[in-house]
Amino acid sequence: MAEQVAVRAVPIRARSVAVLSVASLAGLMMLAWPLLVRVPEQARIDPPFIFLALLPLVIVVVLAELSEGGMDARVLAILGVLSAVNAIIRGLGAGTAGIELVFFLLVLAGRVFGPGFGFALGCTSLFASALMTAGVGPWLPYQMLVSAWIGMGAGLLPRRVTGRAEILLLVGYAVVAAYAFGLLMNLSSWPFALGIAVPGHEGSLSFVAGAPLLENLQRFGVYTLLTSTGTWDTGRAITTAVMIVVLGPAILATLRRASRRVVVERR
């Protein structure tokens, strides 16, 4: 009798891989464009309003592609339930003192249902929670995209790891993802949060238009360390890791039972 192999809840076809790759590259460019574009010193750098308009369109295109790839009514039902649960539990912490409860379920669901489902859940969870907590703003598209990457990455982790080793793998991934989320969100706002520094002004952590890439990266690294790495990001990492250790085995078992009902199996 041949071994049964579960097909992921949102099968990713070759075209979907291409769409995800292009969207991810576009997202990275939207996050890091001030560091990559050479502009004259003391030039005016405005927030990328055009990117804020384009980024939601990129996300919608990706979700449409994933849906066309096989997201049926049962999968949509699971996605809706998990998005609602994630939105509610995120509101319980809302990032206060670094307590962030949204990522542990995102990591676990991405692990069980695969990278396509994880990407979709990251988008819908953050969007739903923003509507519930009045958190809609120019930061939301970036939050949705980075969260989608976290869910997708969880689905791409090695599948053969099981038991305690799986929990350790997920904890390690969640810690890295928590710090990466803070770093990327800082990058989305840093060039505009502190204003543009005057070239030659020592000790400034602001973005310097026209400065070499490594100099701006050094300023950004210090800015991130001082403003979020040791506080918000560490709190997010600890919270997520503890939740996975305490609740991970039970939630993984529950999600896998649900997946057997919604995921097609082939022999």
On whether the CB atoms of residues 130 and 136 are closer than 8 A, the answer is yes
Tokens of 237: 């990492």
pLDDT of residue 266: 39
Q: How far is CA 209 from the centre of its chain?
A: 28
How far apart, in Å, are the Cα atoms of 249 and each of 90, 107, 158, 221, 246? Answer: 20, 13, 17, 36, 8
User: Taking the chain (267 residues) in consecutive chunks of 10 residues, what is each chunk's mean pLDDT?
Assistant: 46 72 80 69 54 64 62 77 86 64 91 88 86 76 89 91 94 95 87 56 67 83 85 89 94 89 52
Length of the chain: 267
Structure confidence at residue 10 (pLDDT) = 62
- Structure confidence at residue 217 (pLDDT): 86
Structural domains counted in the chain: 1
Residue 152 sits in a domain whose CATH number is 1.10.1760.20
64 three-state secondary structure: helix
What is the per-residue pLDDT for 180? 93
Distance from C-alpha of 250 to C-alpha of 142, rounded to nearest angstrom: 31
**What pLDDT score does 125 carry?**
87
User: In the prediction, which pLDDT does 5 show?
Assistant: 40
Euclidean distance between CA atoms 126 and 135, whole angstroms: 9
Q: Which domain holds residue 107?
A: 5-266
3-state secondary structure 185-220: HHHHHHHHHCCECCCCCCCCCCECCCCCHHHHHHHH
The whole-number pLDDT of residue 54 equals 62
Interatomic CA distance for residues 266 and 125, integer angstroms: 30
pLDDT at 2: 36
33 residue type, one letter:
W
115 neighbors 12 (Cβ within 8 angstroms):
yes
3-state secondary structure of 59: helix
Nearest to 110 by CA among 177, 47, 64: 177
User: pTM score, two decimals?
Assistant: 0.81
